[in-house]
Amino acid sequence: MTKKSILLSIVVVAILSAAFYTYKATDKKEVSSVVTDYKNASYRIEGQAVKLTNGVSEVESAPGSVSKTITKYFGNELKKDLDGDGREDIAFLLTQETGGSGTFFYVVAALDTDQGYIGSHAVLLGDRIAPQTTESGPSKSIVVNYADRASGEPMTTSPSVGKSIRLILDPTSLQFGEVAQNFEGEADPNRMSLTMKQWKWVQAIYSDGKVITPKKDLFTLTLKNDGTFSATTDCNGVGGNYIATKSSITFDKMVSTMMFCDGSQEADFTKLLTQTDMYLFTSKGELVLNLKYNSGSVVFK
């Protein structure tokens, strides 16, 4: 083989090697671009793309601005197939602060696809609301429950008006549409009261997505007009005092009988009562106790 042939062979091998490694690098880049965690996906808020990293996005509010727009994962997750492909998708809440005093809450969804998680357009719930629960609705819909202020109330007023919005996602446009709700025959929150009935514990939902549901249908709460309450659990009877205003409520001076019951959820239940600071009623006939620091809510029916 001549020197010219050897040199030509070396050049060909070098070109093929470079092409191979370029292909592998491109292939690796394509694989790594698949979003495997919905907290790292992109969502659209008010028409703008927002890319989360570990559940957070922080960008300049305007080019060269000192002010930051901060978007964060809040929680209240619901796992459900939202597009009918048999995969479990995720709906949850985001908050966004744009440099002022407001904290805006949004509903978004992350669809689980062959290309990884794909984020939806966001739906605004309101400014400085009090999120409650996100529940599965009929068919592919979801129901987001939250508390807001009455019309005309200042932002310094704690949210006390229960609201619900039913949404369904269009998997093509990735936009939510609001489903009209018919509350005929359901409860009127304005006519409900704490002392109107014995309340049965349904569930507790923390803002980080943790859910506690009673294993036994034995947990009740009865609030009396004299400022005392009584409760039944899966073990002991509980009683004590409560103080309530139009929207706030606290429990104290709790006492109980002293039986020991293995596997009881009594401690979880009484802890929830001690952490309560607000309440509201919903059009579904529910009493919702809000936990301190917007950390979650407890639902009674």
For 18-61, write each residue's pLDDT tens digit.
555 554 444 433 334 789 999 999 999 998 999 999 999 999 88
Own/partner long-range contacts of 231-240 (Cβ < 8 Å, ≥24 apart): 231/269, 231/270, 231/273, 233/264, 233/265, 233/266, 233/269, 233/270, 234/261, 234/264, 234/265, 234/266, 235/259, 235/260, 235/261, 235/264, 235/266, 236/261, 236/266, 238/266, 238/269, 238/270
Q: Is residue 125 part of a domain?
A: yes
Residues 168 and 194 occupy one common structural domain: no
Residues 153 and 260 occupy one common structural domain: no
Residues 200 and 229 occupy one common structural domain: yes
Q: Is residue 224 part of a domain?
A: yes
Q: Is residue 294 part of a domain?
A: yes
The conformation of residue 190, written as its DSSP 8-state character, comes to G
Select the more confidently predicted residue: 14 or 145.
Answer: 145
- DSSP assignment string, 96-119: EE-SSS--EEEEEEEEEETTEEEE
Domain ends where: 158, 178, 198? 178
The conformation of residue 262, written as its DSSP 8-state character, comes to T
- Note the pLDDT of residue 66: 82
pLDDT in tens, 218-274: 999 999 999 999 999 999 999 999 999 988 999 999 999 989 999 999 999 999 999
Burial class of 227 by CB neighbour count within 10 A (0 to 12, 13 to 18, 19+): exposed
Q: Is residue 18 part of a domain?
A: no
DSSP bridge partners of 59:
69
C-alpha span between 102 and 255 (Å, rounded): 41
Residues 55 and 78 occupy one common structural domain: yes
Q: Is residue 240 part of a domain?
A: yes
Residues 174 and 206 occupy one common structural domain: no
Domain total in the chain: 2
Mean pLDDT of the chain: 87
Q: Could you tell me the maximum CA-CA distance found in the chain, to the nearest angstrom?
A: 108
- Note the pLDDT of residue 197: 93
Domain ends where: 119, 152, 178? 178
Residues 98 and 197 occupy one common structural domain: no
- Note the pLDDT of residue 11: 52
Q: Is residue 193 part of a domain?
A: yes
Residues 55 and 157 occupy one common structural domain: yes
Neighbours of 124 (CB within 10 A): 13
C-alpha span between 285 and 268 (Å, rounded): 24
Q: Which residue type does 289 have? A: L
Select the more confidently predicted residue: 119 or 185.
Answer: 119
- Note the pLDDT of residue 246: 86
Select the more confidently predicted residue: 234 or 183.
Answer: 234
Residues 97 and 229 occupy one common structural domain: no
DSSP bridge partners of 169:
176
Residues 62 and 106 occupy one common structural domain: yes
C-alpha span between 37 and 181 (Å, rounded): 33
Q: What is the mean pLDDT of residues 154-159?
A: 87
Residues 158 and 218 occupy one common structural domain: no
pLDDT-derived band of residue 185, with 50, 70 and 90 as boundaries? very low
C-alpha span between 213 and 205 (Å, rounded): 9
- Note the pLDDT of residue 186: 55
Q: Is residue 11 part of a domain?
A: no
Q: Which two tokens stand for residue 37?
A: 């965690």
Q: Which two tokens stand for residue 207?
A: 């803002």
- Note the pLDDT of residue 15: 56
Q: Is residue 6 part of a domain?
A: no
Full residue range of the structural domain in which residue 205 is found: 189-300
pLDDT in tens, 75-106: 999 999 999 999 999 999 999 998 888 899 99
Residues 120 and 215 occupy one common structural domain: no
pTM higher than 0.75, yes or no? no
Domain ends where: 114, 147, 178? 178
Under 8 Å CB-to-CB from 182, ≥6 apart: which residues? none
Under 8 Å CB-to-CB from 62, ≥6 apart: which residues? none
Residues 152 and 205 occupy one common structural domain: no
Under 8 Å CB-to-CB from 98, ≥6 apart: which residues? 61, 67, 69, 104
Q: Specify the CATH number for the domain of residue 212.
A: 2.40.128.270
- Note the pLDDT of residue 2: 61
Pairing mode, strands 220-223 and 211-212: unpaired
